[in-house]
Amino acid sequence: MGVVIADLALRNGIRYSLGRVDREKSPRKRSSPPLAVLLLEVVLNETSKQESLDNLPIEAGHFQQLIERIERLEEEKKGIAEAVRDIYQEAKSLGYDPKVMRQVIKIRKMDSHELDEQEALLHLYLQALGMR
C-alpha cells in the first residue's frame, strides 16, 4: 500500500516518505494521515483526478463495511448515553446528587494508589490556600 501511495503522491507533485507528506509548494511538513492528504490533493488537482482516483488503494466494499460499523456503534453510543442520563434523572428524583454520583464513579475507576495521590494533592492544595 505504501508503494501505491508513494507512486500516487509522486504523480500529483507531492513528496511522500516515512508517513509524512509535503507539498512541493510548501517546505512545511504535515502530520496528517497520508491517505487523507492524498485524497484531498487528488480532489483539488483536476488534471489527473480520475487517473489518480482509479489508483487509490481503497476496496469499496470493505471501506463501506467499516463506515457502517462505525455508524452503528455511534448510534449505540448515543442510546447508551441517553440511558445513563435517564438513570441520573431517576437518582435525582430520589434525592441523590448527580454531580456527586459522577465523582463517585470517577473515583471507582481509579486504582487505590492513584486515589491516594489525588487525595494527598487535594489536601495539600487546600492547605496552601488556607482552606484546611
Domains in the chain: boundaries: 2-54, 97-132
Q: Tell me: the pLDDT tens digits for 35-73?
A: 666 666 666 665 555 665 566 667 878 899 999 999 999
CB 29 within 8 Å of CB 20: yes
DSSP-derived secondary structure letter, 32: S
pLDDT in tens, 71-94: 999 999 999 999 999 999 999 999
